[in-house]
């Protein structure tokens, strides 16, 4: 009993506190659900924070139309089994125009199908607070962001003028049209996430586990051919390789890593010797050093 709280207990307590703070202060909060491991942890924390009640807010998935099929199947299964209120939003205009990473490039695709789609969904439903699963250890501009990150009307972020965030006292006051993005996992590291998934036995998309999958090597990345929309280029060959994903997004923009790790224990073990950061597999971050900050200022999560 007198042992100090474990690191995961402290992180869990902080996150739960943040989740409740939003529920207590905002009229219409929403949780962004991206189906990835961080979202799975955030969902688990939300269930834990409000038990025996259900989380008092809906879950929003911004479907870029290019997610792995297994992600969509997992999303629908979770919503059914856990019975949470799921909203799926696509940029309808983008879908009509056939926007995609292969034809429009990664930055146009991401802007229209993720950033714009997110702004549409938030405006359409009038959400005044939105949870995101971003962590400060992911990327340098994330390391600078507050847990309660204020957005002006129009969703823009002003990184040079953030509200001071003292102790666990969060300023949740917004004027009409303004919103707050909330990051309950700010202080978690990738390793903490995996350890917690292991400890709490949290279900995650099978793509995180190594399996033989059809991949092609392109631009220094291993890409998985998830459906027929991906065309092989001259000289490219589809190979079955033992791979897994450290992070999940649009399949044409998410690189696989070769791995034998097919259990959670093996994934944690692999983490311990990993020498590249997880966002390395994210092509949208690579354009230039400040690219995440730029996207965030425009309203990306």
* Residue numbers 235-254 binding another protein by CB under 8 A: none
Task: Compare residues 44 and 67 and give the one whose CB is closer to another protein.
Answer: 44
Q: Which of 72, 86, 95, 198 binds another protein (CB under 8 A)?
A: 198
Report which of 241, 224, 240 is spatially closest to residue 232, judged by C-alpha positions: 224
Cα maximum dimension of the chain:
65
CB-wise, 104 or 280, nearer to another protein? 280
Residues 205-234 within binding reach of another protein (CB under 8 A): 217, 220-222
Helices 37-50 & 7-25 angle (0-180, nearest 10): 70
Q: At what angle do helices 37-50 and 190-200 cross, to 10 degrees?
A: 60
Applying CB under 8 A, what is the total number of residues that bind another protein? 81
Restricting to residues 141-180, name those near another protein by CB under 8 A: 141-144, 159-160, 162-169, 171, 173-175
Residue 267 Cβ, how far from another protein at the closest point, in Å? 9
Within 13 Å, how many C-alpha atoms sit on residue 169's CB side?
3
Q: Which of 77, 80, 140, 212 binds another protein (CB under 8 A)?
A: 140
Closest of 6, 16, 75, 20 to residue 42, by C-alpha: 16
User: Exactly one of 27, 201, 235, 276 binds another protein (CB under 8 A); which one?
Assistant: 276
Walk across the sheet containing 129-131 and list its strands: 86-89, 59-62, 29-32, 129-131, 179-182, 148-151
Q: Which of residues 256-275 bind another protein (CB under 8 A)?
A: 256-261, 263, 265-266, 268-270, 272-275
Judged by CB under 8 A, the chain residues 46 through 105 that form the site for another protein are 47-54
Residues making up the chain, counted from first to last: 301
- For another protein, the closer of residues 63 and 190 by Cβ is 190
| Alpha helices in the chain, H assignment, sequence order | 7-25, 37-50, 69-82, 92-96, 101-104, 106-110, 117-125, 190-200, 264-273, 291-298
Give the residue, chosen from 106, 139, 205, 252, that forms a contact with another protein under the rule CB under 8 A. Answer: 139
In the complex, what is the shortest distance from the CB of residue 225 to another protein, in angstroms, rounded to a whole number?
Answer: 16
| Closer by beta carbon to another protein, 62 or else 216 | 216
Binding status of residue 27 toward another protein by CB under 8 A: no
Q: Quick one: 91 or 195, whose CB is closer to another protein?
A: 195
Q: Edge-to-edge strand order for the sheet containing 211-218?
A: 221-224, 211-218, 239-244, 257-258
Rule CB under 8 A: say whether 12 interacts with another protein: yes
């Amino acid at each position: 009993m007198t042992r100090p709280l474990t690191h995961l207990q402290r992180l869990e307590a902080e996150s739960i506190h943040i989740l409740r703070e939003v529920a207590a202060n905002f009229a219409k909060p929403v949780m962004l659900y991206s189906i990835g491991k961080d979202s799975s942890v955030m969902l688990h924390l939300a269930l834990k924070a409000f038990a025996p009640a259900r989380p008092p807010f809906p879950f929003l998935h911004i479907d870029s139309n290019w997610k792995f099929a297994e992600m969509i199947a997992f999303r629908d299964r979770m919503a059914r089994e856990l019975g949470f209120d799921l909203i799926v939003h696509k940029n309808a205009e983008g879908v009509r125009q056939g926007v995609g990473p292969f034809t429009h490039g990664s930055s146009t695709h991401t802007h229209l199908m993720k950033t714009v789609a997110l702004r549409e969904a938030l405006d359409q439903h009038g959400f005044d607070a939105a949870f995101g699963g971003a962590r400060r250890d992911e990327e340098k501009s994330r390391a600078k962001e507050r847990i309660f990150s204020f957005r002006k009307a129009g969703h823009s972020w002003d990184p040079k003028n953030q509200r001071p965030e003292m102790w666990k006292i969060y300023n949740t006051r917004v004027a009409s049209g303004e919103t707050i993005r909330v990051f309950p996992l700010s202080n978690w590291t990738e390793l903490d996430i995996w350890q917690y998934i292991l400890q709490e036995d949290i279900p995650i998309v099978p793509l995180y586990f190594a399996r033989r999958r059809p991949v092609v090597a392109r631009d220094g990345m291993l890409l998985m051919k998830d459906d027929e929309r991906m065309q092989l280029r001259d000289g490219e060959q589809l190979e079955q390789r033992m791979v897994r994903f450290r992070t999940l997004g649009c399949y044409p923009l998410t690189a696989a890593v070769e791995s034998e790790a097919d259990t959670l224990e093996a994934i944690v073990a692999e983490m311990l010797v990993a020498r590249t950061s997880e966002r390395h597999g994210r092509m949208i971050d690579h354009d230039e050093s400040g690219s995440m900050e730029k996207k965030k200022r425009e309203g990306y999560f």
